[in-house]
Amino acid sequence: MDDSFILTVPYNGKNYELNTKFIRLGFIYQFHIGIEGRTFIFERDEEHGYRVIDTAANGKEIDKSLLKAIVDKLSSLQD
């Protein structure tokens, strides 16, 4: 099962509208989120936080604070 939606993430005084796909894989799920032309995979880790997987092998550095804001937004959706 996969569902696409726009995830709105407030960061640095503006709202980012990110194309997001929710994907369920058996007992786990992932959010595939498009950021700056690349896809990042957000999935739960063993401590119930999120790990972020960059699908681009040699992509430029992404703002880690933006990734943290996305993790915070995803976490708030499940509370």
pTM for the full predicted model: 0.88
Quote the pLDDT of residue 39: 94
User: For 61, which DSSP code?
Assistant: P
Using alpha carbons, select from 2, 38, 1 the residue that is nearest to residue 18: 38
Give the model confidence (pLDDT) of 22-58 as tens digits. 999 888 899 999 998 899 999 998 898 899 998 887 7
> CB–CB of 75/67 below 8 Å?
no
In the three-class reduction of DSSP (H, G, I as helix; E, B as strand; rest coil), residue 74 is classed as helix
* Alpha helices, H only, 4-79: 64-77
The Cα 42–Cα 77 span in angstroms is 14
State the pLDDT confidence band at 2, using cuts at 50, 70 and 90.
low
